[in-house]
Structure 1
Amino acid sequence: MSSSPTQSPTHGPALATTKRKFDTLLDKLTASASTTSLATTLRESNASATSLTSPPAPEPQTKRSRLSDVLMDRSRQVSGSERIQALKDQLFTSQKEGGRLTVGTSVRAVGGNKSPATTTTPRKPANYQPYSQDQFLDRLKTFADVKKWTNKPDAIGEVEWAKQGWSCDTWNTVACKGGCEQRIAVKLRPKRKDASGKEMDMSEDLAVEIDDGLVEKYRELIVDGHHEDCLWRKRGCSNDIYHIPIPNRAKSTADFLLRYRSFKAIAKDLPSLENLVYPDPRVDDILRRVSPSFFSPPGSDITEQPPSSPTDTVAFLFALFGWTGVSEARISLAVCNHCFQRTGLWLYADARLEEMSKKLSVPIESLRLNLVESHREHCPWKNPETQRNPYDGPIAHMAGWQTQTFMLLGKRKEKAKEHQRNIESVDLGSEYTYPRGSVDSDARSFTKDDEDNKEESRWRKFKARLRRTTSKKSLKSVKSVKSTKSTKSVVEKDRENKGVASK
């Protein structure tokens, strides 16, 4: 329902009064910056505006900010002027927070700064993922610092704690981080004492033997140390969580080439081939048998050239035994991404080895880098038990380096009875199963009695065909005759036994 004409004069002066008050306030604020008043600007901009034909409905008697109301009405008209924008900044400085203006429950950008793009923080992964090898390795890495964790018996070693969801927090203390937040201090020996008899913090007296009962107590706490409601108490990681999927040929090849490339990037710091110790076969024999296509697998973004220099050969050898090359603060290191062992390559330079040999009075051969023994004892590259290859295949009971060598070399060809199979083309797969008939079942030796075997197979086929041609009815009749004969013979025998007993 429209307003009556008699109401128009009533609301007209009120609106004009509000405009005058607003103009006066803005003129005072900008008097030092400009001689032109905001009122003049507003009047000029509104000169062509259409006058109101009907006044607005009266406002409810609730407290509202006049400045916010006027700003909402006039923002479309004055937003294009830089002077007005600067005036807004001065007017609403007390309400600005981080370049944004809050009016009631709404938020608007003021000034020349645009509102920052909304960023979503990545969601933290769940703590309980017993099937995740990445999370297992992250927990295991916390035990790698010798300043926080000392060697323990295998039953309560870092692998067992990490399998059950524990991480190393402080000195010989484990915690279920992100889970039940329980903490256990693993103390197997007393603290070492100094010359004055005072105990030293973060130390162990290695001369004291470890109590087997104490080890058993901590072995139980690996599970029972969690809170009763903690999922890690109910089930931990499987025993094959540490397995390196080397039998998956596509993945292992890509990982191998990444390790190989990492050492080529620090080729100038690599030790000479003579200063490396490793088991047979020799690297030259391996490279002769590896196909050049191995370094450029089809469908892969990782392509490399076969080793063509001594440093490339050393890089290939490091990659073969599970090491990755890194450079930290201009120091080149060989790092294992599974046991987190770190070895400085500068320790095995010729000059360094000669210097240490003279100081320690030991032969240089004993100071060279052993590519297998330098891994930690629980590392799957070194330990067949933690690698846990399938027990029913040709890579059973092999450590990681042996598995990698087998996958590179394999066996050339195995002649079977009806077909040939190239072992090098077999992908053992990530399911840890070996194809039937690949090596053992197909590797059959044939002798000069093959003709006799063929005759026996023909005779078996003939008897099978004869049995199939025999009707079911005749078979039933034969069975019935046999059964009647057998029952008669049993009855006659019983009668004879009774006659003998009566006499």
Structure 2
Amino acid sequence: MSYALETKKRKFTRVLESISKPLASGDGGAKPPTDPLMAARERLAEPPSIKKVRVGEGVLDKVSTKTTVSRILRTTSSSANLRPNFVPWDRERFLERLETFRPVTRWLSQPSPINEVEWAKRGWSCTDYMRVACVGGCGASLVVKLPEEVDDFEDLDSDKVQERKEVRQKVVEEYRKLLSDGHKENCLWRSKACDGAYVPFYYSAGLGNVTFELAATIHRLQVTNPDNAINALRDRYLKISKLQDQLPARETIELPEQLSLKEMIDILPPGFPGDSPNNSLNDDTSQQSDGKENTIDERSFAFAFFGWDVVKDGSSGLLECRACFRRLGLWLYKSKEEGKEAVYEKLPVHSEHMDYCPWINGPAQSGTGRATDRPESLSSGWQVLAQGLRTKHRRRVKTSASATPTESVPTEADTLSLDSTATDEASQRAKDREWWSKLRRVREALHVKGPKKASSQSK
């Protein structure tokens, strides 16, 4: 080894030793740097000297150190409580994004492939007028603007009208691709969405892209459990019943033709609605009387049955749906005190929801997106709730019939439920007989023979 290289090596070793060893305080040199948090803890652990206590420097130093440590701990805890942005399975976060599209000053209704539900399923929220932004933090932002409707151009000929329709459809398809492609390359929402979103698939052979829809279970209402559905119905009824003075007249409220509101009220559990929202309505703890505890107000029950609830901010005279965030101004359907007529004569509580709302939309509530399913065969939210009430009523009737052997006069609701049960059983037996007869005919046509005996095979 050369002399110059060895000299440089010794100098480098001395530099390392001088850095690693702390200098003495009497030498007048600078002290080595230390961790600020460790220094603060050491100052808190050391008792202040008499001189510092007398002058007050120790107290000020201790207070400032405590403030610094508390600020550090508070920042750490606040960062730990931050919610993740990419949670496609969280229904509450999906509804939070969907609620941002509620103000009409921000969002106008769009075609179903690019409506607010589809944007919310793909991780977008509405931040400004017709502008959506990614909630995942990728910084993507889009402005949704479609050509005007064709109905506004009635003076044009049929060829131009058809051309404008085709242009509008192409723009819708482009925005439909931007549901996922609008995110940046590193964004997780680009490759994964909530269930029920349109998912694009691209063929490598250049055949274009095909989109299909998955089961939309993220928007489904929690009404499949009859007990939970009835308790939620009771909570909504109790809150709406406090606004009886602001509700429109019963003649103003319209209901679907296939629903009998009187039947639903007659088969309610005993004791409905109860005194407080926290008391559950179970068959074992409910009152044994056939009559209801209080007289049911049909207007409040009609709104609660179709999913309407009091607004969260407590605004007077307003009801809202917590699934589609549509709001109802009750004063528009109520006559004025001065004798003026209401703005609207009728209030259809079922059709005032948005078209995609699971309270009235069968595919949205049933969680299916298959093209083979017929929409009329799928049950919406209020139909599932009605079926749950009938199911609970049939169970109560059977339980009471087995517990009390004495004959009692059945009510109209009891007769309807028993008749429907008997009809279902008879139809099921008829279907079974028809199935077995078809099976026998198929076997005869194919000449199906039984297996040969073991003895014949051995011979």
If the length of structure 1 is used for normalisation, what is the TM-score?
0.55
Q: Which has the higher contact order (CA 8 A, sep 6+)?
A: 2
Aligned pairs (5 A) from 1:352-501:
355-356=340-341, 367-388=345-366, 397-410=378-391, 475-481=453-459
Give the structure 2 partner of residue 163 of structure 1: 121
Quick one: distance in 2 between partners of 1:352 and 1:124? 51
Note the 1:117-128 alignment, pairs <5 A.
119=74, 120-121=77-78, 123-128=81-86
Assess if the C-alpha contact under 8 Å between 1:326 and 1:332 holds in 2: no
- After superposing the two structures, state which structure 1 stretch, 299-308 or 161-170, moved more: 299-308
> 1:399: how far off?
1.2
In the alignment, is the contact (CA less than 8 A) between 2:230 and 2:389 conserved in 1? Answer: no
Which of these residues, 293, 299, 302, is aligned with residue 317 of structure 1? 302
Give the distance between the partners of 1:336 and 1:135, measured in 2 at CA: 16
Distance 1:439 1:227 in 2: 60
User: CA contact under 8 A between 1:266 and 1:327: conserved in structure 2?
Assistant: no
> Hey, what does 1:215 align to over in structure 2?
172
* Partner in structure 2 of residue 227 of structure 1: 184
1:171-222: per-residue Cα shift (whole Å, max 9, x none)?
Answer: 212111233221111111269xxxxxxxxxxxxxxxx866111111111111
Per the TM alignment, residue 71 of structure 1 is displaced from its structure 2 partner at its CA by 7.7
Distance 2:306 2:320 in 1: 11
Change (3 A) 1:356 1:439: same
Give per-residue Cα distances to partners, 1:280-313, cap 9 Å, x unaligned. Answer: 433222211212155459x964579957346x33
Q: Is 1:74 equivalent to 2:74 in the alignment?
A: no
Alignment counterpart, residue 132 of structure 2, candidates 155, 174, 199: 174
Q: Matched residue of 1:169: which SS?
A: strand
Identify the residue that residue 101 of structure 1 maps to in structure 2: 63
Tell me if 1:344 matches 2:300: no
Contact 1:347 1:353 (C-alpha < 8 Å) held by counterparts: no
Match of 2:317 among 329, 332, 344: 332
Alignment: residue pair count: 332
Distance 1:440 1:175, change over 3 A: farther
Cα deviation code 1:2-57 (max 9, x no counterpart): xxxxxxxxxxxxxxxxxxxxxxxxxxxxxxxxxxxxxxxxxxxxxxxxxxxxxxxx
- CA apart distance, 1:158: 1.0
- The answer to whether 1:265 aligns with 2:242 is yes
Report the more deviating stretch, 156-165 or 403-412: 403-412
Following the alignment from structure 2 to structure 1, what is the Cα–Cα distance between the partners of residues 105 and 73?
42
Identity, % of aligned positions: 28
Q: Which deviations, in whole Å up to 9, do the C-alpha atoms of 1:465-495 show, x marking residues without a partner?
A: xx9xx9xxx95442244xxxxxxxxxxxxxx
- Secondary structure (helix, strand or coil) at the match of 1:380 reads coil
Q: CA deviation at 1:235?
A: 1.8
Gaps of 5+ in 1: 1-57, 79-83, 192-207, 361-365, 415-419, 423-437, 454-466, 482-503
User: Structure 1 pair 269/138, CA: closer, same or farther in 2 (3 Å)?
Assistant: same
Residue aligned with 2:317, SS: strand
Larger radius of gyration: 1
Q: How does 1:139-154 map to 2 (within 5 A)?
A: 139-154=97-112
Shift of 1:147: 1.0
Question: Secondary structure at the residue paired with 2:350?
Answer: coil
1:231–1:71 CA distance, 2 compared to 1 (3 A) = closer
Q: Secondary structure at the match of 2:311?
A: strand
**Range that drifts further, 154-163 or 324-333:** 324-333
Q: 1:269 to 1:226 in 2, by over 3 A?
A: same
Tell me what 1:288 maps to: 266
Partner Cα separation in structure 2 for residue 369 and residue 139 of structure 1: 28
Show the counterpart of 1:247: 224
Task: Say if 1:75 and 1:336 are closer, same or farther in 2 by CA, change over 3 A.
Answer: farther
How much has 1:233 moved relative to structure 2? 1.6
Confirm or deny: 8 A CA contact 2:237 2:301 kept in the other structure.
yes
Q: In the alignment, which residue of structure 2 is the partner of 1:458?
A: none
The secondary structure found in structure 1 opposite 2:303 is: helix
Partner of 1:275: 252
Q: Which has the higher helix share?
A: 2
Conservation of the 8 A alpha-carbon contact between 1:389 and 1:397: no
- 1:308 maps to 2:289: no
Of the structure 1 ranges 317-326 and 284-293, higher mean CA displacement relative to structure 2 is found in 284-293
| 3-state secondary structure, aligned to 2:132 | strand
| Aligned-partner Cα distance in 1 for 2:73–2:188 | 35
Give the letter aligned to residue 97 of structure 2: R
